[in-house]
Structure 1
Amino acid sequence: MTTNRYPSLMWEDVSEGDTLPPFDYELSLLRLVAFVRATGLYDYVHHDDRYAQAVGAKASFISTPHVGGLLTRLITDWSGPGSVLRRLTYRMTAQCLRDDVLTVSGKVGRKYRGDDGSYLVDLVDLNIATGSVATAVSATATLEMPFSTGQLPRIARERSADETVPPNEDMPEFARAMLGKVRVGNWEPREPLLQSDIHLWCEALEDWNPLYWDADYAAASPFGRIIAPPTGLFYGAGSSLNVGLGYRKPGAEVPAPIRQGLKGMELLSALRQEIIKGGVPFPPPDCPETVVTEATFKFYRPLGVGDTLRTEQRLLTCSPLRKTRLGEGYFLLGENLLFNQHDELVRSVALNLFCYRTQ
């Protein structure tokens, strides 16, 4: 689908080596807080300098979904709303800190036809730079594009049987005991997604893909309704209860650290463990802190207004004990499978994590 108002690139108009128009994004405190508001991800390291410094960072820093949002904005700003993102992998090698000015860029790699006849483009050298770091984030992506004959990208696809990762042979015993176990993770969201939820994401990222906010355009598209950005995270207002916001609501469960009367940094540290539990399905013993080093998203069908998402979590691999500048801990690979209310797979997210204790 293409219009003069919201044009889309066609596959045949793309050449290998084309540059995606870069953009700058100031990672201000306002934008960090706006992203927390949009997602319900209340992790203090992403907006509280004091807490971030207490766990080994220089200042508050960008979150994993925030990075994904900037990369998907880069892609769809270039391609237009007619393409569908199939895969996105990014590695975070340096922290993007509060007040950094980020430059987001990339180019076209391979252009080819899929086995099913789809028109595909691999995007390479996707990069987020700061004023002091040339590559804070590196990424690759696969995009399915429309063709001028009228062939459009598939709205949905199924997961293939070979999309699995074997466990590593040197896995510690505590991790080996977790293999094969499935844990119910967060709802993203628990309540039906609202158009206003998606609009908050658009504001924080300055991502104005019309499929996310223009109801008339989205209704006339193959999707038939407003959809969420592919990496969109929407925990909703109820997620604030994990960190003690709104615990006085009648019927709400008061977090244990608040019942215990903890204050200040001690309270924040105890409450943050509830956040970590949501993203780290099988945390190693005595490793209360966690950072994400790499994320791989695979997309199967869109999340739209009115949908809910439930998560199934699995541990895939775990390294032996390692020492880094942050502390001593384990590198884990965990997988989240997110299903909508019809039990259809929306996306998979494989997260490489470093779970550690500070020295």
Structure 2
Amino acid sequence: MKAETFETDFWKDAELRKTWDDIIPGEPRKTLPYTLTLEAIQKLCRVLGDTHPLYFDEEYANQSSYKGLIAPPSIHILLMFSCTPADDWMRSPGTINAGQSWSYNVPARPGDTIRLEARALDKFIKKDRLFVVHDNVFFNQHNQVICSGRGWTIRAF
């Protein structure tokens, strides 16, 4: 099974994305299920320079308390883009990450089908900048929370 190709042209669908006026606090964002592959996990780990055997060595991982290969906590970075369609407002070019806080519960594993529940919690203007506070919760196919986070972004005008 070949992993899906990740689009790297972030401007490609920019005209489809919601504008500031379209973001409604409390409204659930449209999301997509994503099947996490070992290939995707290991590619992310290599890019990050994280070669821990829990992500690469099946024998080591099976003997650990996790009883198998897992994804690193930073997997939420890959999942955020994999679980959102091209027209999602979080994917808008020029958006700046102004901070985030994440909690991790159960590890994501190769073969998990990931579901994201996400929404804007608030939006406001401060010093001529457009801020959005958002909430994201990732679940596996067993409805277990993998991780949850709250973030703050500064939107492009």
Normalising by the smaller structure, the TM-score range is 0.7 to 0.9
Please identify the structure whose Cα radius of gyration is greater: 1
Distance 1:346 1:297 in 2: 11
Pairs aligned (count): 142
Distance 2:126 2:45 in 1: 40
Would the alpha carbon gap of residues 345 and 39 (structure 1) be closer, same or farther in structure 2, given more than 3 Å must change?
farther
Match of 1:303 in 2: 108
* Amino acid corresponding to residue 28 of structure 2 in structure 1: V
> In the TM superposition, what is the alpha-carbon distance from 1:332 to its structure 2 partner?
0.9
How big is each residue's C-alpha offset from its partner over 1:61-81, in whole Å with a ceiling of 9 and x where there is no partner?
xxxxxxxxxxxxxxxxxxxxx
Match of 1:319 in 2: 124
- Conserved 8 A contact 1:231-1:297: no
Distance 2:69 2:136 in 1: 24
Match of 2:143 in 1: 343
> In the TM superposition, what is the alpha-carbon distance from 1:174 to its structure 2 partner?
7.2
Distance 1:40 1:334 in 2: 23
Correspondence 1:200 to 2:43? yes
> In the TM superposition, what is the alpha-carbon distance from 1:316 to its structure 2 partner?
1.6
Instruction: List runs of 5+ in structure 1 lacking aligned partners.
Output: 1-36, 46-172, 243-273, 281-286, 324-328
Q: CA RMSD in A?
A: 3.1
**TM-score of the pair, normalised by structure 1:** 0.35
Distance 2:53 2:73 in 1: 14
Distance 2:42 2:8 in 1: 19
Instruction: List runs of 5+ in structure 2 lacking aligned partners.
Output: 12-20
> In the TM superposition, what is the alpha-carbon distance from 1:221 to its structure 2 partner?
1.0
Distance 1:183 1:41 in 2: 20
Match of 2:67 among 198, 210, 224: 224
* Amino acid corresponding to residue 29 of structure 2 in structure 1: R
Distance 1:213 1:194 in 2: 12
What's the secondary structure of 1:305's corresponding residue?
Answer: coil
Distance 1:342 1:322 in 2: 44
> In the TM superposition, what is the alpha-carbon distance from 1:340 to its structure 2 partner?
0.7
Distance 1:207 1:223 in 2: 18
- Conserved 8 A contact 1:333-1:351: yes
* Amino acid corresponding to residue 183 of structure 1 in structure 2: R
> In the TM superposition, what is the alpha-carbon distance from 1:304 to its structure 2 partner?
0.7
Would the alpha carbon gap of residues 43 and 352 (structure 1) be closer, same or farther in structure 2, given more than 3 Å must change?
farther
Distance 2:98 2:113 in 1: 27
Match of 2:16 in 1: none
Percent identity between the aligned chains?
27
Would the alpha carbon gap of residues 180 and 227 (structure 1) be closer, same or farther in structure 2, given more than 3 Å must change?
same
